[in-house]
Amino acid sequence: MPTGAVIEFRSISKRFGGVAAVNDLSFTVEPGRVTGFLGPNGAGKTTSLRILLGLVAASSGTATFGGVRYRDLPHPLKTVGAALEAASFHPGRTARSHLGVYAIAAGLPRTRVMEVLTQVGLAAHAAQRVGGYSLGMRQRLGLAYALLGDPGVLVLDEPINGLDPEGIRWIRGFLRDMAAEGRTVLVSSHLLSEVQQSVDDVVIIARGELVHLGPLSSLDTDAAPLTIVDSPDRENLKAALTAAGIAFSIGRTGLLAATGDPALLGHLAFAAGVELSVLHRQKAGLEDSFLALVGGGHTL
Amino acid sequence: MNMFLRSVSAEFAKIFTTRLWWILAIVLFCYIGLLAGGLAALFAGIQTGVISPDAVNTGGGAVSFGSLPPLVYSFASSVGYVFPVLIGALATTGEFRHQTLTPTFLATPRRGLVLGAKTVTLVLVGAGFGVVALTASVGIGGGVLSAFGVDALLLDSETWLLVARTLLAMGLWAAIGVGLGVLVPNQVASIVIVLAFTQFVEPLLRLAASFLEVTAKIGNFLPGAASDALVGASVFTMASPAGTAPLGWWQGGFVLLGYAVAATVIGYAVSWKKDVT
Ligand SMILES: Nc1ncnc2c1ncn2[C@@H]1O[C@H](COP(=O)(O)OP(=O)(O)O)[C@@H](O)[C@H]1O
Ligand SMILES: [Mg+2]
């Protein structure tokens, strides 16, 4: 069974002309775990992964597999399997000949081609031209390419995009299995909800910079907590909150106050002589924490 | 070396797993067969007097085309050279267009080696196109000549040297195509350049250059002229008025090689080694 290597990003930066796509990004990815690489569209995920794979030259910094740069790996496809966002196929080639080309280039046995096509559920379409594939089938073919060398490290860029519900369920199990076998699995997504059932760790970036790193559960406590509070006399409640310097927004069921301490609000209201009709803490979901971190969603 | 050979076989697999190569090969065969056969009939007809010189309006008198067989056989390269250029250019621009550089460079991260393997592969494929084109020009053209009673010179060593030099020229043209493809990675732009240059620009330049001795010497270094010099016969050199001596065959070969190397090296820097996004 192939074992995974540690992926290490060290101070990676990349500028495209005037645009800083990635800025001083550092993190490591451990074997035996599924790591979600998350961030909104344009955050720099694809750029970072392409730098890791030697397809894009970093402006500065290094990215390695077990200390070795991709281009220095003696057997790249046997060490790292990558499926990148863009559909990289000649439409006139069949799935089998597409994979066959790269099996030859990497010196892999031709039998691997049908093995991986079977593994991703495309065996029945092996002789079909890729030009006629659906988006979901292309995603699976991309995954088949990644698996060709039975690598210990998987780097997958948005692999869930375009999959049908059955495909999504399948890939979740697949990611878990790969990590359980001791492989390193790095999977990017712009939606936490897409991967939260399969990832152990999260690396979150926004505008090219690291904003959060840790186990999935760390998203629970990091979130800015909210307390929902309301009163028949809402204007005076707002005035009391403003006077106490507590930010709030107006939600569907009352005011969303930026504090995790309902007792504090109860005391403020009591002191201001405002009657309360609602007072309870809202536990932020992972998705809320994620959106708060990347700044794409609610401002509190 | 092992890695290089694997890359070469992968490049061969790329060519032979899409339809382009045999479509081009069939068109090449028909085109050259038609031209070589048709013009062999015309020239041989005039030379043997079957067709009266007056009928083709040459101004009367005895007409000589020199030795007909080399002229007819050289259609394989003097006209057919656009085909290896096209397949070479399509082989590289296709990688950009279909974003297959990503899986290619993932499987073989050494990009210079990949480009080298592609060039070697396409030189051989170009020579293969040479075989197709020569089959048409020698097979059909030679057959027509024989039918007119002109000796097709099939047992002449000169004929087979011409065949060998044609294969070399066709291989070099494919390498030029690869170079052009990295120089101009946009597929449509690349094809337009190939067609415009080979079908209009260069023939006109060669004609214009041929009227003065100085320009004729420079014109000898145009790729098509160099190719004809390498092969040693061409309907174009036959038609040149100033009659400057063309380059020697090996000089022509080196000029072609120079174009291929220059385009490939510059193309490597401007596109091949750049970010694949
Ligand atoms: N080839 C490129 N040229 C210029 N800018 C680019 C290029 N590729 C990406 N970018 C820019 O870099 C930023 C990060 O893009 P990307 O890495 O694709 O983000 P993500 O994959 O997280 O959506 C974006 O602002 C994008 O516009
Ligand atoms: Mg992306």
Mean pLDDT lowest for which of A62-76, A191-205, B130-144? A191-205
Q: What integer is the mean pLDDT of B140-145?
A: 94
Q: What integer is the mean pLDDT of A253-277?
A: 88
| Cβ neighbours of residue A267 closer than 8 Å, sequence gap 6 or more | none
Atom of ligand 1 nearest to the CA of A205: 22
| Cβ neighbours of residue B270 closer than 8 Å, sequence gap 6 or more | B182, B183
Residues of B within 8 A of A83 (CB-CB) are none
What is the pLDDT confidence band of residue B237, given thresholds at 50, 70 and 90?
Answer: low
Residue B59 has pLDDT above 80, yes or no: no
**ipTM score for this prediction:** 0.90
* A44 CA to centre of ligand 1 in angstroms: 6
Every domain of chain B and the residues it spans = 2-272
Residue A86 has pLDDT above 70, yes or no: no
Nearest CA to ligand 1 atom 11: A21
Nearest CA to ligand 1 atom 3: A16
Residues B223, B228, B234: CA angle, nearest 5 degrees? 135
What is the pLDDT confidence band of residue A38, given thresholds at 50, 70 and 90?
Answer: very high
Helix, strand and coil percent figures for chain A, each rounded to 5: 35, 25, 35
Residue B56 has pLDDT above 60, yes or no: no
Q: What is the dihedral of CA A250, A251, A257, A259, to 10 degrees?
A: -150
pLDDT computed for residue B233 by the predictor: 72
pLDDT computed for residue A298 by the predictor: 38
Residues of B within 8 A of A42 (CB-CB) are none
pLDDT computed for residue B60 by the predictor: 43
Three-state DSSP at A161 gives coil
Interface test with A, best of B17, B90, B106, B118 (most A CBs within 10 A): B106
* A42 CA to centre of ligand 1 in angstroms: 6
Give the rounded percent of residues in chain A with a pLDDT score beyond 90: 70
In angstroms, what separates the C-alpha of B101 from chain A's closest C-alpha?
A: 8
- State pLDDT tens for residues B68-98: 899 999 999 999 999 999 999 999 999 999 9
Which of A91, A75, A179, A190 is CA-nearest to residue A133? Answer: A91
Residue A292 has pLDDT above 80, yes or no: no
Q: What integer is the mean pLDDT of A74-91?
A: 91
Contact B100, B24 (CB under 8 A): no
Nearest CA to ligand 1 atom 27: A42
Q: What integer is the mean pLDDT of A277-295?
A: 77
Q: Is A59 on the interface with B (CB under 8 A)?
A: no
